[in-house]
Amino acid sequence: MPNKMRAAQIMEYEKPYELHERAIPQCGDHDLLIQVYAAGFCHSDLQVWNGQFPAASLPMIPSHEPAGKIAQIGANVQGSWKVGDRVGVLNYKNACGGCAGCRQHSRRSKRPDPRFCQRRIVAGFRHDGAFAEYMLADPNTTVHLPDGVSFEQGAPLMCAGATVWGALRKLSPQVQPGDAVAVVGIGGLGQLGVQFSKALGYRTIAMDNRDEGRQLALDLPDHLKPDLVMDSTTEDADQKISEFTSGEGLAGIVVCTDSIQANAWCLQQLGNGGVMVPLGLPKDKWQFDSEVMVFHELTIKGSYVASAEEVESMLKVVAKHGISSHLTVLGFSEIPSLIGRYLHASMKGRLVINIKGEDLVAVGDAESVLESIGVTNGIPANESQDYHQLLAAVHDVAEHILQLPDYTARTDTEKYPRENIRRPSADEQDFGNAWAHKFLIRGNSQGSLLQGKTLCLKDNVAVAGVPQFFGTDAIPAWTPNDDATVVRRALDAGADVVGTTICENFCNSTSSFTSAQGTVYNPYARGYSAGGSTSGGSAVVGGGLVDIAIGADQGGSIRVPSSFCGCVGLKPTHGLVPYTGISSGDAINDHAGPIARSVSDVALCLDAISGKDDYDDRTLGAPIHGSTQYAKSLRNSVAGLKIGVLKEGFEHRLVNEEVKSTVRKAIQSFERLGATVEEVSLPLHLEGPAIWTIQQRIAGTFNMLGYAHGRRGLFSTAYETARQPWTNESFQKLFPSTKNTIINGLSLMQNYPGLYAKTMNLAQQLRDSYEMLFEDYDLIVMPTTPFVAPPNIDWKRGEDAPMDALKPSMGITINTAIFDVTGHPAMSLPVGFSPSTVDSEVRLPVGMQLVGGLWQEQKILNAAFAWESANDWKKIGIPKDQESRLSTKL
């Protein structure tokens, strides 16, 4: 290591920075020596430069936003630090441990927090900072910089990012995901604040009276773009906020300007119990309306940057969501001109000095990439430099793409405004925790197909402005900017959308206790499974609270919960219903479809949402949207219909005898109605679960890890960035079924070359075999599930065995999953009740699965409609003395 370093210094206040050579600071026993790669400049640096924050002594090295690598580690430094670690450094350091501030903090936390130490060192304010090649850092206020965050992007996060992140976190617990939050003043600080607010799941307003400030907000990627961008000085500003919040006022405001008038106005925009965090430091005193504060029980909170722990959590969010600043990057030699540029040039976003002058890609990175797939010594020494340059070039292209505006299908929120988006209170929940978010979007008053119908959506279906959980807490909730195609079509057809309903963990379970947002109960028996993964939707439809749910099915996730909850659930032919805007499991298995209490409502919804979507290449073979007439073509007759009873669908050892009996009795009704019914055999059907398992494990893993999948379409960058990269912390929060998918998939890819290809060949063989059956038969029928809803279990992560979590759902999809791989349309129709396998006094719905040839939904709908018209399924399998006890509302 050299003895000297380059450094920029303040020699006199209000005079240009000067470049000098300084001795590299000595690394003490409790210090980290940081080689600075990038350092930021912000408004407070200007205040230091003009003497508003006097330095301990001059000359002094300015800047308090450094990012770089550890060069040396003091002998007594604790922790897992290593030389070469990529880090960011907060500007406060060296808590004394004895002053009143330190004593007070030590009672709340074990980790020292120099922010409140009365003797703290403040780098870049009173003591030497980051405009130098090396600086000393306190391990307690040094944070790891994620690999996906460049030094240039990381530097501003150490002050600007930490400041606005700390302010937003202080809005909780009063402010929750889905609440309306405003960020006021969209400069370098506010631009980060808007992105953080979106990442935290808030409905976000960006306010600025400057055109360039509002443009900064509009230039953000779509998944981080605010829900509303406005000028707070216009005459209709109050009205816009009132409309955005349904008259309730804002839940929280972070003010990134020191304008006394702006802060006073912001306080007036809060709703009851609202929270405001002002970040500006005006020379004069604040002027707030005490009457508004008292009568609306408002809170004004101070916020001083953020703790190291809070910054570490911020950096995880930055990495997952791809949060970034608009940067102007200057070289070290340009530091003397920095103040003039800042004062007189029109600069957008943050100003950063590239201290080290090194690219994102380091020498040896190409070799490291190959080692990750088991290729060692893959690049000869004489070729290494060329591949380094090529890798650096493609990184430059990637950075360029990330800076471009995203392209999405624009949602007309003026035509279809979102009202009162909220997480439901305990009093608003139904069937345990069936609702993810409640809100109201009123459908087209001129719509006909779904006029007067209420509709809910599985919590993987995008609704602009509504945070999405996807059944997990392993990744933060993200807020889509656009409606899924099925949502737009349902609204156009007149449906009122009333909320999103719980789905199971990453849509990866047919139980109803795996969601991080809570357990869902069966509407016919509390404590029993509602099925999954469309658990919440099936429960509220089966329980009579909503007319129709739109679900998604990759292995049975529409049909299984429909069977358990006494609903009619249709998985259409692959591609008939667009998947644009729905979080994917795998493009081969992705199916979206309706769940309702009647066949006619299923047909109406299918008419409304089906048809080709130019954004989704799954739909290339689908009819033109609006051209189908499934509902109008319903026929109350099966005369002439030929139905095959699939022998293998009944023969599996898991199929319960009571379920077999109930379904066979239901099939007899088809004969009485005039259909020809014959037993058919397809032994390959029994291989369906194995084929689906291998296909789903490998393809599902590729999807979970964010690998390319070869499909054209519009994708949710908000979702993709939310779940990447995977960390130990996020993986540990996954439910065992999701962990198992990833473990299985990685192992299969490593150990069985050619397995996926052969599996897909066998899937094609099975698809062709079913199609041959449909040359002779209009439909085939079998039980939807092998048994009725099992009891939910109270499984606790970290306490109970993973196998215990998986047992309740084992075998449920033996008759459903394979039709996701082959793409055939399949419906679950309720045909009666059967005793619970654990309590004969409890009667639960039984579903019969009707499967048709590709694009033959009309045959399925007609047969189901005829059966439904001739039978009251709720009176089948219920002892006479128990009929009056049957209730679908807990």
Assign residue 637 the CATH number of its domain. Answer: 3.90.1300.10
| 334 Cβ contact partners less than 8 Å away, ≥ 6 residues apart | 353
**Predicted local distance difference test score (pLDDT) of residue 885:** 56
> Are residues 636 and 490 part of one domain?
yes
| 772 Cβ contact partners less than 8 Å away, ≥ 6 residues apart | none
Q: Which residues pair with 41 in a beta bridge?
A: 351
Q: Report whether 142 contacts 89 (CB < 8 A).
A: yes
The number of domains in the chain is 4
**Predicted local distance difference test score (pLDDT) of residue 10:** 95
**Predicted local distance difference test score (pLDDT) of residue 890:** 40
> Are residues 370 and 345 part of one domain?
no
Give every residue of the chain whose pLDDT is below 50, as ranges: 358-359, 887-890
**Predicted local distance difference test score (pLDDT) of residue 55:** 76
Q: Which residue has the tokens 């791809």?
A: 322
Burial class of residue 510 in the structure, from the number of CB atoms within 10 Å of its CB (0-12 exposed, 13-18 middle, 19+ buried):
buried
**Predicted local distance difference test score (pLDDT) of residue 403:** 62
Burial class of residue 530 in the structure, from the number of CB atoms within 10 Å of its CB (0-12 exposed, 13-18 middle, 19+ buried):
buried
Distances 568 to 183, 501, 557, 831, 868 between C-alpha atoms, Å: 45, 17, 13, 10, 10
- Give the CATH number of the domain where residue 50 resides: 3.90.180.10
Could you tell me the pTM of the whole model?
0.67
> Are residues 369 and 347 part of one domain?
no
82 lies in some domain: yes
**Predicted local distance difference test score (pLDDT) of residue 889:** 40
Domain that includes residue 103, residue range: 4-153+324-354
- Give the CATH number of the domain where residue 272 resides: 3.40.50.720
User: For residue 820, what is the enclosing H or E element?
Assistant: helix 818-822
Kindly report, residue by residue over 59-88, the tens digit of the pLDDT.
999 999 999 999 999 999 998 899 889 999
- 533-543 burial code (b ≥16 CB/10 A, e <16): bbbbbbbbbbb
Q: 887 an active-site residue?
A: no
289 lies in some domain: yes
> Are residues 696 and 646 part of one domain?
yes
> Are residues 575 and 457 part of one domain?
yes
> Are residues 662 and 590 part of one domain?
yes
> Are residues 661 and 539 part of one domain?
yes
318 lies in some domain: no
> Are residues 688 and 589 part of one domain?
yes
> Are residues 181 and 120 part of one domain?
no
503 lies in some domain: yes
Among the listed residues 511, 557, 600, 730, the single catalytic one is: 557
> Are residues 607 and 497 part of one domain?
yes
279 lies in some domain: yes
314 lies in some domain: no
Distances 678 to 54, 648, 688 between C-alpha atoms, Å: 92, 13, 22
Q: 557 an active-site residue?
A: yes
Among the listed residues 150, 232, 511, 533, the single catalytic one is: 533
Cβ count within 10 A of residue 839: 13
Q: Report whether 146 contacts 85 (CB < 8 A).
A: no
Among the listed residues 198, 458, 571, 739, the single catalytic one is: 458
- 345-354 burial code (b ≥16 CB/10 A, e <16): eebbbbbbbb
Note the helical H segments in 225-307. 237-244, 260-268, 290-295
Note the helical H segments in 110-259. 151-156, 162-169, 188-199, 211-218, 237-244
Cβ count within 10 A of residue 614: 15
> Are residues 369 and 348 part of one domain?
no
159 lies in some domain: no
> Are residues 348 and 277 part of one domain?
no
Q: 809 an active-site residue?
A: no
411 lies in some domain: no
